[in-house]
Amino acid sequence: MYTFIMGFLVKVPVLDGRMQQTVRNLFFHVPMWFTMQTLFIVSVIYAVLYLYKPKPVYDFYSTEFARTGIVFGVLGLITGAIWANYQWGSAWSGDPKQNGAAVALLIYFAYFILRGSVNDESKRGKLGAVYNIFAFAMLFPTIWILPRLTESLHPGGLGTEGNPGLNPNDTSPEMERVFLPASIGWILLGVWIASLFSRLKIYKEQLQEMSDNEFRSTNQKQKMTNETV
């Protein structure tokens, strides 16, 4: 709530016609990527834990954190496309950072396709964990390394010292007081959502296990009754 209110009310610097009011998207677009990265980090940690000790709960958390991370990644692409449309004249200009982010998300989408193609829970968990580690490793070249080795409109790329429209020095102390809480808030929201869905999945599994045990117990009693008769 603080981000939405202060994000639109805080005074932003006038940058000689650059950015103008679109700079307010900084409070939404960038934190989305921070949140995605955080969720993917937690997801790959649980994937490693599952390979070390294959507990279903580790697989549940790894899956749901990856799923929520993809959601925030898509939101990052959408908010970035909106910003690019106003700033660069096109929602998708083929910028290396845009292309790399899209490739990274496609790799994570393939993670769920792979899981859906395996019926055995144990094999699905192990294959998913191994692929999760691969997908996380691919984040570095697609998002952090390759875009910095080529000309990019994003900060950090070659050519005009990155983004010619936005430089870290162009932000104001007022903006920083909104940006930091916004980043923390979005990250905490993402972790809360992923944890909530993980616990919900665990609860459903426990209910299913209780139902299966009750069904087996009823069948066993019925069988004993029939044998007595």
Per-residue HEC secondary structure of 182-199 comes to: HHHHHHHHHHHHHHHHHH
Bigger pLDDT: 227 vs 181: 181
Phi and psi at residue 83, in whole multiples of 5°? -65, -45
Our measurement of the distance from residue 186's CA atom to the centroid of its chain's CA atoms, rounded to an integer in Å, reads: 11
Contacts of 183 (CB under 8 A, 6+ apart): 30, 31, 34
Contacts of 133 (CB under 8 A, 6+ apart): 44, 47, 48
Query: Which residue in 173, 108, 98, 97 sits closest to 138, CA to CA?
Result: 108
Give the chain's domain count. 1
- Lowest mean pLDDT, pick from 5-9, 76-80, 90-94, 115-119: 5-9
Domain of residue 75: give its range: 2-163+171-228
Provide the pLDDT confidence category of residue 39 given band limits of 50, 70 and 90: very high
Provide the pLDDT confidence category of residue 146 given band limits of 50, 70 and 90: confident
- Average pLDDT on 86-95 reads 80
pLDDT (0 to 100) of residue 20? 65
Token representation of residue 168:
């870290």
pTM: 0.83
> Which contiguous run of DSSP H or E holds residue 3?
helix 2-9
- Average pLDDT on 217-223 reads 61
Provide the pLDDT confidence category of residue 97 given band limits of 50, 70 and 90: confident
